[in-house]
Structure 1
Amino acid sequence: MTAFARRARASAGRVHPQLSLVSYTLLAHLEESGGCRATDLAAHHALDKSTVSRQVAALERAGLIERRADPDDHRVRLLHPTEAGTRILARVTATRRAAFRERLSDWPTDDLERFAAYLLRYNAAAAAPPVGRSGTPAG
C-alpha cells in the first residue's frame, strides 16, 4: 500500500509541477461534482479547512481552478476547474488508464474479476464509518 501511495503522489507531480496528490484529488472532485465550495471540499475529504485553503490557493495561482458565483445564491462563490484544469485531469486519467492497461494486460480474466471485486470491497470499507473494537461505529 505504501508503494501504491508513493506512485500516486509522484504521478501527480509529473503531470504538473504544482499538482500534489491532495490538490489533484481536490481538482478531480471539483470536476466530478460540477463545482462546490471550499468548505464542501474539506468536509468531503475530511481535511482541515486551512489545508484545503492552501491547496485551493495553489490551484488558483496555477490557473487550474476559478471561483464563480453560485447561480442559486450570488453571495456564495463556487470553485470550478478551468479549461487548463480540465485538460490536466484528462491527461492524468488517460496516462493512468494506459498504465493500468499495461500492468494488467497479461492477467487472466479470473484474476482481473477477483481484483476488481477486492477493490470494490476495499473502497466500500474505506467509505464506511470507522468501527471500534466493540464492533459498533466509533466516534
Structure 2
Amino acid sequence: MAAAIGALAQRATRAGLYDKLTSGVEGVDATTYPVLSGLARCGPVTATRLAEAIGMDRTVTTRYATRLQEAGLIVRRPDPSDARATQLALTEDGEQAVLALRGAMESFVAEELSTWPPGEAAAFATRLERLTDAIARPDTGRTP
C-alpha cells in the first residue's frame, strides 16, 4: 500500500492524471492545473501563500498564474492586507473551468470504480477519507 501511495504522489503520476482532466478545458494544462485547482481551494490568495499550499516554488507558481491570467481564468488584484502585494483570484471563466475539471475528476473516478464489485468502492472511499484525515492531521507526537 505504501508503494501505491508513493506512486500516486509522484509528479509523473499526477501529471498523467492532470493531462486526462484538462483535456478539453481551454487555458488549462497539466502544468497550470495545480495552480488553478489550488486557487479554487484557497480562495483569493497571494502567489506566495498559494505556492506554499500547493507545494510549488513561488516563481513557478507566479509563471503559471501569468499563463492562467492570459487565458482569462484568474485575475491579479491588490491585497487588502498588504498594499505592496497582489492576490490571485478566479474569474468567472476560471470558476467554470474549475467546475469542468471537477466534473472530469468525478467522471474519471466513477468510470474507474464502476468495474469494482458492489460495496467495494464505498468501502474504499470511507477508508481513503480516513487515511487522508490522518495524513492531514497535525503531528500528535506518535512515532512510526
Q: CA RMSD in A?
A: 2.9
CA offsets 1:12-41 (integer angstroms, 9 cap, x no match): 441336423342122122122221000001
Matched, 1:45 2:54: yes
Task: Please report the TM-score for the alignment, with normalisation by the length of structure 2.
Answer: 0.71
- Given that residues 23 and 29 in structure 2 are in contact (C-alpha distance below 8 angstroms), is that contact kept between their aligned partners in structure 1? no
Letter of the aligned partner of 1:32 in structure 2?
R
Q: Aligned residues, how many?
A: 132
Q: Could you tell me which residue of structure 1 aligns to residue 113 of structure 2?
A: 104
In the alignment, which of 92, 101, 104 is matched to residue 83 of structure 1? 92
Q: Percent identity?
A: 29
For residue 110 of structure 1, report the CA deviation from its aligned partner: 3.0
Following superposition of structure 1 onto structure 2, how do residues 19-98 of structure 1 map, counting pairs within 5 Å? Answer: 19-98=28-107
Name which of structure 1's ranges 8-17 and 79-88 shifts more when overlaid on structure 2: 8-17
**Mean CA deviation greater in 18-27 or 3-12:** 3-12
Alpha-carbon distance change, 31 to 5 in structure 1, aligned in 2, over 3 angstroms: closer
Give the counterpart letter for 1:89 in structure 2. Answer: V
Give me the TM-score of the superposition, normalised by structure 1. 0.73
Gaps of 5+ in 2: 1-6
